[in-house]
A and B are shown apart, each in its own frame.
Chain A
Amino acid sequence: MTPASALPRDALPTRRNEAWRYSDLSRALADFALPPDAARGEEHVIARLAGGARAMAVEAGQAVTVVERLEGAGLLAQAQDIRLAPGARLTRVVFQTGGGVALSLARVRLGAGAHFRQIVLAEGASLARVETDVTIEGEHAEVELYGIYLAGTGRHADLTSRVLHEAPNGVTKQRIQGAARAGGRGVFQGKIVVARGAQKTDASQAHHGLLLEEGADISAKPELEIYADDVRCAHGNTAGALDEEALFYLRTRGVEEREARALLTEAFLLEAVPEDAEAEVKDEIAGRIAAWLRGGAS
């Protein structure tokens, strides 16, 4: 997160500010009238536009699922603080489905043994950013971050996260997969920080992007910062095109090229949805991906 002090006064974050390098907020916001005192840096802007930050707490022993929808045209922004008490479980599902500028910032803090699972489907906007900032404060807490971005032509979809392991024996599992069409931009920024005292942390991060057409753009900034010496951290990051051999295989079975591409893309993207996710969530994600792939012109 860019500290507000690093920003020029009275300026929105721009691509020069590290965490906003890929998402030019000030340019995207140029078309919108902002409240006069909104321009104070990213967090303040979001809080201000959302009418103040929302807060949510999940108590010990509770298991909660929340589905958020960032949809509609124009300017959408929300900021929230989420607190998981020791032993609490939260599944947060975010559907971002359009709008001129859509911004979501969630700060999540986990107590001991808490479990936070997030599943995001971002369909992009002229600028859409779903940002998650997680701090593991108690031991044996577990974080799962799943996300899919679909950057169609003229769309920008940004999934940004930071997970800070402050306590030992924490687990982070992150899997982000996305696809971009010509003139679309997908962004993944994922940082996992393991503090000095967070021994026995087990963290894995995977991001895989699919460039569907010439002129598609995927920008990725995976980061692991490890200050503890007894940890397990794995990461993988790729961006590429569909497997030509798989495409040929499907076509020899009679599947038309366009549909073969859709089937392969679908299969690829759905790898980022956990098998044990709730059926309605899985169905909605699959349905939205299918519509995105097959609905009209690209």
Chain B
Amino acid sequence: MLEIEALHVEVAGAEILRGLSLHVPAGEVHAIMGPNGAGKSTLAYALAGREGYDVTHGRATLEGADLLALTPEARAARGLFLSFQYPVEIPGLATLAFLRAALNAQRKARGEGEMSSPDFLKLARAKAAALKISPDMLKRPLNVGFSGGEKKRLEVLQMAVLEPRFAILDETDSGLDIDALRVVADGVNALRAPARAMLVITHYQRLLDYIRPDRVHVLAAGRIAHSGGPELALELERSGYDRYGLAPA
């Protein structure tokens, strides 16, 4: 599904990822853990195509398609989704209108017809209810005045509506209390499917109690330093990241 080979990424002239390789097969959830500054968010942004994250070497493909050659929106239409660590507030843009524009843009790019307004409303309301998102929240401007938990639930709602093939969850647990964490994790788990894979980026093991990964990778100094099963997360919680070296300066 997602194949990353020897990826090197520079941000503002500094090399952050230094030959990162990773394979995530369909149906699996992999976790990336690592100390602050290791390059976890850089990996997420580079895969999603953010400007300023320059890939100097390496490859990244999703189901064979060369992600790095595509615009961010074309990557999305191919089924890539990034749940942001800090979802962006956009005053004046109603959440529901945004969600509909996004869904229909992706459908159009894939040559599918636009979803009608009533069908879309039904879909969005049903998925929102499962995530305990009120219809009132959907009318408000995107992420404006939302609590940390509300923002993360809205990220998962977007994922549920857009039904990506591959989702990257960047620090989805940050800023969440335990109840919000449970709701978000339930939402994510409901989206696990044989044809879908996920990459869960987190600093702490806590999230992985709720979203059980198939594999855990340690990202340190710009590459995968170690990989293992779910038990690796618990080990890291005990022993910390020290033995994997410091983050690049």
Which of A's residues lie within 8 Å of B, judged by CB?
A: 243-246, 248-257, 259-260, 263-264, 266-268, 270-271
Contacts and interface: CB of A to CB of B under 8 A. Distances in A.
17 contacts: A249-B90, A250-B98, A251-B71, A252-B48, A252-B72, A252-B75, A253-B105, A254-B73, A254-B77, A255-B101, A255-B102, A256-B105, A256-B109, A257-B73, A259-B105, A260-B73, A266-B92
Contacts of A250: 90, 98, 102
A229 B103 CA distance: 55
Nearest to B45: A248
B106 A254 contact: yes
Contacts of A257: 71, 73
Interface in B73-109: 73, 75-77, 80-82, 84, 87-88, 90-93, 98, 101-103, 105-106, 109
A248 B162 CA distance: 17
Nearest to A249: B88
B102 A246 contact: no
Nearest to A262: B101
B73 A245 contact: no
Contacts of B77: 254
B162 A253 contact: yes
Interface centre among A244, A250, A257, A268 (most CB of B within 10 A): A250
B105 A263 contact: no
A273 to B, nearest CB: 10
Contacts of A267: 90-93, 141
A270 B91 CA distance: 10
A254 B91 contact: no
Contacts of A243: 88
B101 A263 contact: yes
B76 A254 contact: yes
Contacts of B206: none
Interface string B155-175: 000100010000000000000
Contact of B98 (A244, A256, A263): A263
A259 B80 CA distance: 19
B91 A255 contact: no
A252 B76 contact: yes
B127 to A, nearest CB: 15
